[in-house]
Structure 1
Amino acid sequence: MAGFTNAAFREIVRGFGGAGLLATEMVNARGFVWLDENEAEHPDRLWGVAEESRPLAVQIWDNDPDTMAKVGRRLAGEYKVSVVDINFGCPVRQVTEKAHSGSYLLRDPMRMHAIISQLVVACAPTPVTAKIRLGCSPDNVNCNEIAKVVEEAGAAALTVHGRTAKDMFKGHADWDRISEIKSHLKNIPLIGNGDLDSAEKVVAAFQNYNVDGVMIARACLGRPWLFAQAAAALRGEPIPPEPTMLEQREVMLRHYQLVIGRFGEEKGTVLMRKYACCYAQGKHGARFFRSHVAKVSTSQQFHSVVDEFFPVVDNQDRATVSS
């Protein structure tokens, strides 16, 4: 998830446990090559990748097989990542219509095959995986055909988000469609993605649909403990309760320290605004908190807004806003 799943967030998730494979923000392969050729610092989206714990997947995107292979070779050889994942699912216009990448490539299976097959050779023995959507639009659902292409090209696994590119994130993910894809695969695992925002929904996905794994994305942004809850539920154990509001506040502040430790106070504080909004989402007083935290630009301002407006729990164990 571009702009969110950086090294700071991954460290927070890893601290709670439960996630089998963490993934980076998607990396623009062409931009990576330009930085490398001009001896500039590697993309911020690769921050922490070389040093952090494994397993770890790096997701890359572009539409040129040679460029993708060049970057994949570096990721597998120099960075020694666990998995190189190809993003064929991003529906954002800047990636699709402007760069003819992401979900735009679902209309060009042969190009997808070329990208995957060259990456598989370049990254060997590091596995290469692919993430797709159901199709470009509800009138052009071709996920079954694409699944065959992905496997024939040598990918080690396929992840499918249960919406089309045109849907963006509207409506509901179609898990029946995801499940149908399994019959079109011979050997590689199918991973389902979309609308998994609770441990119970994760368990239901495995019980009701023909998938080998699941991916949690947007739902974890303000709840990095969701993976631990889902893992416990899948083991048949009691689901750990949500952290208290005070504990959630401390998680957010820890996250903030990691961000400013990398980017400095000014840039780090601005970057943290969106994360802070995620932590408050769905809580009483969240809108009021967001309106204030969206304006902070210093560490003092951030802590002041959190102290005054971040939702807390009162004596009646209900969410409220401190004053």
Structure 2
Amino acid sequence: MAGVTNAPFRQLCREAGAAGLPEVLAPETAASPAPAGLYVAEMVTSRALVERTPESMRIISRDAGERVHSVQLYGVDPATVRLAVRMLVTEERADHIDLNFGCPVPKVTRKGGGAVLPWKSELFSAIVTAACDEAAGTAIPVTVKMRMGIDADHLTYLDAGLRAQDAGAASVALHARTAADYYSGTAHWEAIARLKETVTDIPVLGNGDIWSAEDALTMVEQTGCDGVVVGRGCQGRPWLFTDLVAAFSGSDLRVRPGLADVAGVIRRHAELMVEHFGDELKALRELRKHMSWYLKGYVVGGQARAALGLVSTLGELDERLAELDLDQPYPGEGAEGPRGRAGTPKTPHVPEGWLTSREMDAALREMIAQAESSVSGG
């Protein structure tokens, strides 16, 4: 969720999750409810964090309203990951650290990172162990998110789940696709069930194709997982977290916004972005990617959609939103279902010789030592 789950969007999602709580909590607890889930920051590279680049420091910045600040860390070198976790822990910059082994994009996998890294089992263990050791003795849990493997012939998730458990991870989350699947097709929820049967000492979370609260309930019922992780499903729908909190508490509360409500969320999102970046043009450019997600299913028209995708100021945004038919009710099925990246399966990019063995040779170790500096994310 790089470029999506920055502090402004996390705030919208966090507030939406909290909005579901008064509906389902006893009156004496609803006044100051506990956080409804974790809202994890964009992925940041451990190398950039250790070097304290301005972008990495922005990514991990704590929003004033975050009671639990979750940082998502990417790394391919155990020593660098250890230093990054040490910084986060000793400087109190995180309340939760999530290690990302799920990214399938070529610029990450061609350096041996993300979804292809668990294939090198000892390297995977070393990274998770380094992170968990640095956080040991604190109240900061280290969790692991991963995919099923590189492709159907190179599955790693069961072995990786056990290794993460042995290394001290607080939980493991499985995006039930391989790197080759990318974001295509349907997630293989049966793999989540297998992982839950295999990893028995720590919670197992499921990820993949959670587009609604009903999807989340079905995943838990079918797989036995201990909770769900939401990615693309919340793009343009921060109110999904209201639905999720309600659903897991047995309530039938669901948010079904009309276009006026959606426009109000877009405007507030823009304000938060301007405050976060301190630059109106940069903030509005960052907001543009969200427009098609917010407007999915509503009758807007191609010209209006294009205009909203080019706004550069809050004034322009107000003008474009005012031109919409804001009396439209919630469009139902058209606003639901898949959103964001999908596409087709892809052949994963991996370093030369990566698939030859699950062990690291000298050449690959040298490559790994230099890999993080060329990956964005801080």
Q: Same fold (TM over 0.5)?
A: yes
1:274-313 alignment to 2 at 5 Å?
Answer: 274-285=289-300, 287-309=302-324, 312-313=326-327
1:153 to 167, 170, 175: 167
Name the SS for the 2:254 alignment partner: coil
- Partners of 1:241 and 1:45 lie apart in 2 by 29
Stretch deviating more after TM superposition (286-295 or 172-181): 286-295
Query: What is the TM-score when the length of structure 1 is the normalising length?
Result: 0.91
Residue 289 to residue 140, structure 1, CA distance change in 2 (3 Å): farther
Letter in 2 for 1:255: H
1:98-117 alignment to 2 at 5 Å?
Answer: 99-117=111-129
1:41-190 alignment to 2 at 5 Å?
Answer: 42-49=56-63, 51-97=64-110, 99-124=111-136, 125=138, 126-190=140-204
CA contact (8 A) 1:179 1:211 kept: yes
CA contact (8 A) 2:240 2:255 kept: no
Residue 7 to residue 290, structure 1, CA distance change in 2 (3 Å): same
CA contact (8 A) 1:133 1:161 kept: yes
Runs of 4+ in 1 over 4 A off after TM superposition: none
- Partners of 2:230 and 2:303 lie apart in 1 by 28
- Partners of 1:177 and 1:288 lie apart in 2 by 43
1:241-280 alignment to 2 at 5 Å?
Answer: 241-263=255-277, 264-280=279-295
CA contact (8 A) 2:150 2:178 kept: yes
- Partners of 2:250 and 2:166 lie apart in 1 by 36
| Uncovered stretches (5+) of structure 1, i.e. residues with no partner | none
CA contact (8 A) 1:76 1:84 kept: no
Name the SS for the 1:111 alignment partner: helix
- Partners of 2:62 and 2:232 lie apart in 1 by 21
Stretch deviating more after TM superposition (296-305 or 108-117): 296-305
- Partners of 2:300 and 2:55 lie apart in 1 by 40
Q: Would you say 1:220 and 2:237 are equivalent positions?
A: no
Greater length-normalized contact order (CA 8 Å, ≥ 6 residues apart)? 2
Residue 242 to residue 102, structure 1, CA distance change in 2 (3 Å): same
CA contact (8 A) 1:180 1:210 kept: no
Task: Output one character per residue of 1:59-102: Cα deviation in whole Å (capped at 9) or x when no partner.
Answer: 110101111111111212213422111000100111111x3211
| Uncovered stretches (5+) of structure 2, i.e. residues with no partner | 19-35, 332-378
Q: Percent identity?
A: 33
- Partners of 2:263 and 2:145 lie apart in 1 by 33
1:197-236 alignment to 2 at 5 Å?
Answer: 197-236=211-250
**How many equivalent pairs are there?**
311
Query: What is the TM-score when the length of structure 2 is the normalising length?
Result: 0.78
Aligned-pair distance for 1:206? 1.6
